[in-house]
Amino acid sequence: MDIGFNPLLAIFYFAYIFLVLSAVVHMLYQKRSPQNLTVWLLTLLLLPYLGILLYLIFGSRKLLYKRNKPNIVIPIKPRDSLVIPAENPLARQVDQLLVADQIACTTGGNQVELLDDSSQAFEAFMQALQKAQSRIHIETYIFELDVTGERILHALTEKARQGVEVRLLLDAVGSFALYRRPKALRPLLAAGGQVAFFQPVFKNFFNSQVNLRNHRKIYLFDDALGFTGGMNLSNDYLGSESDKPKNGRWKDLLFQMQGPVLSHYHIVFNEDWRYSTQESLPQIEIREISTTEKLVQTIPSGPDIHKEPLFESLMQAVYAARQEIVIVSPYFIPEGSIMTALMIAMKRGVKVILVSPEKSDHLIFDLGRSSYLRELHEAGGEIHFYTGKMLHAKLVFIDREAMLFGTANLDYRSLFINHELTSWVYDPLLIKQAGQWVEEVVAESQHYQVPDTRGRRLFENFTRIFAPIL
């Protein structure tokens, strides 16, 4: 039966082909990995038009984004007296690599303190807030108005009434409840505080930016004290001992910082604030506070950063490891090159240890990590599953001589999509303290057991196909 020529169907078909080809050209222009390219091609071909919509919302990253948010540039200034010790070649290598990526030099004269107890972290945070005299700048992914969030919001409002500059920058997805119903923020605004939402959902849903979330945690008080780490502002992460949930809080870390490293954190906050509000803030210079060279190298990463400094410094560190690599991450879906580097490290005799939660808060990530866990285990890696409530801390140790801390997980989203902020630190005492904390977590963990069914292995390999877009 001759159904004849249908012009509407032809337009529909050729429009679809045009859109697919446009998306492919865009991906090729971005020089994506073959695995990422393959996943998106399958999505585009198997889900006509829906695949195009998904790509428009979630597929773009740096190319279109730069039309809206310029790169963050931390000025690279000539060093005065800082000399990275010869006995720490990794610090020199990472510094040289990151400077080539237009990331500012390693700073000395810092102090970094590990806060590994949720109540202790909350007490230090609130004490810094209450002592602030000139400005309070807070940037976080999640701000939840539970008992902890209410106390923080009340304290911020009081500070604003006292004339302290209070700026609160929240991610619109992570803090979606407040973004959708911001009425609770009115007292802070009435007191003179300022609030902004990064990447508003409804404004950016169809312009390839809604997927680019701000996962940075930057808590700055005056020009003297700052905090970062995995802890968001809710009772799941930190709070008073009396307000602790019955089943406990998430296992996480907060780092308290003083010294020149805070200048870099101020720059990142200022740029994120300017992007969200069009308000330019003055640059702040912070002098050394320590007579010893407490070295810290800060790495902002994400769509607003030149190149891939976090990914590249991780690769450099893994290849430089001689004895041991310890990774603490709630989500483990490493990019293929990092996985290869870990495999090679184990062949060189380097011990590789991964500590991760038995079950995270995202089932899809738990499914996506399965094949990587199996591969790491079969190559000789040591995997520990934390059996308590969600493990949310993020750490990487290299030979117990260098440690990476901050907001980034070891997955595609943190490495290549989200706005993140991490730091390499080379302080032996801090690394020892953090190492002891990891040992305590391992004591509350159980060894990874490899699922041995064929169906399970097939399912794991299937989920790996879609890992680059999780």
pLDDT one-digit tens code per residue, 182-206? 999 999 999 999 999 998 887 655 5
Geometric angle at alpha carbon 344, from 343 and 347, rounded to 5°: 95
What pLDDT does residue 87 have? 72
443 vs 23, more confident: 443
- Whether residues 358 and 463 share a domain: the answer is yes
- Whether residues 43 and 189 share a domain: the answer is no
pLDDT at 79 over 60: no
Q: How do residues 304-336 score in pLDDT, each as one tens digit?
A: 888 899 999 999 999 999 999 999 999 999 988
- Whether residues 147 and 197 share a domain: the answer is yes
- Whether residues 290 and 374 share a domain: the answer is no
What pLDDT does residue 455 have? 65
- Whether residues 280 and 319 share a domain: the answer is no
pLDDT at 261 over 70: yes
Element (H, E) at 398: strand 395-398
Q: What is the mean pLDDT of residues 30-58?
A: 67
How far is Cα of residue 435 from the mean position of the Cα atoms in its chain?
21
**11 assigned to some structural domain:** yes
Pairing of strands 410-411, 395-398: unpaired
- Domain end: 238, 264, 294, which one? 294
Mean pLDDT of the chain: 86
Say which range, 109-113, 115-119, 447-451, has the weakest mean pLDDT: 447-451
Say which range, 8-12, 106-110, 148-152, 343-347, has the weakest mean pLDDT: 8-12
Dihedrals φ, ψ of 323, to 5°? -125, -45
- Domain end: 234, 261, 294, which one? 294
- Whether residues 422 and 319 share a domain: the answer is yes
- Whether residues 347 and 237 share a domain: the answer is no
Q: What is the mean pLDDT of residues 60-75?
A: 59
Q: How confident is the model at residue 65 (pLDDT cuts 50, 70, 90)?
A: very low
- Whether residues 332 and 391 share a domain: the answer is yes
* Torsion angle of C-alpha atoms 255, 256, 259, 261, degrees rounded to 10: 30
- Whether residues 41 and 125 share a domain: the answer is no
- Domain end: 22, 38, 59, which one? 59
**157 assigned to some structural domain:** yes
**362 assigned to some structural domain:** yes
Q: What is the mean pLDDT of residues 71-89?
A: 67
d(CA 30, CA 33): 9
Q: How confident is the model at residue 286 (pLDDT cuts 50, 70, 90)?
A: confident
- Whether residues 54 and 124 share a domain: the answer is no
Q: What is the mean pLDDT of residues 273-277?
A: 95
Q: What CATH number has the domain bearing residue 237?
A: 3.30.870.10
Burial class (CB in 10 A: 0-12, 13-18, 19+), 458: exposed
**Tally of structural domains, the chain:** 3
What pLDDT does residue 48 have? 78
pLDDT at 107 over 50: yes
Range of the domain at 48: 7-59
**Contact residues for 177 (Cβ-Cβ < 8 A; gap 6+):** 144, 145
Q: How do residues 383-404 score in pLDDT, each as one tens digit?
A: 999 999 999 999 999 999 999 9
What pLDDT does residue 63 have? 42
pLDDT at 91 over 70: yes
397: β partners? 326, 403
- Whether residues 280 and 368 share a domain: the answer is no
Q: Which long-range contacts (CB under 8 A, 24 or more apart) does 450-455 make?
A: 450/374, 450/377, 450/378, 451/370, 451/374
Per-position DSSP letters for 304-324, written without gaps between them: TSSS-HHHHHHHHHHHH-SSE
What pLDDT does residue 136 have? 98
How far is Cα of residue 223 from the mean position of the Cα atoms in its chain?
24
Which runs of consecutive H residues, i.e. helices, occur in 106-260? 118-131, 147-161, 176-180, 186-190, 201-204
Four-residue CA torsion sign, 470, 335, 213, 118: positive
Q: What is the mean pLDDT of residues 361-382?
A: 89
**206 assigned to some structural domain:** yes
The 10 Å Cβ neighbour count of residue 93 is: 16
**66 assigned to some structural domain:** no
- Whether residues 338 and 367 share a domain: the answer is yes
**77 assigned to some structural domain:** no
DSSP state of 182: G
What pLDDT does residue 1 have? 47
**79 assigned to some structural domain:** no
Burial class (CB in 10 A: 0-12, 13-18, 19+), 206: exposed
The 10 Å Cβ neighbour count of residue 275 is: 18
Contact yes or no for 401/426 (Cβ under 8 A): yes
pLDDT at 68 over 90: no
pLDDT at 363 over 90: no
Burial class (CB in 10 A: 0-12, 13-18, 19+), 29: exposed
**147 assigned to some structural domain:** yes
Dihedrals φ, ψ of 50, to 5°? -65, -40
d(CA 145, CA 136): 19
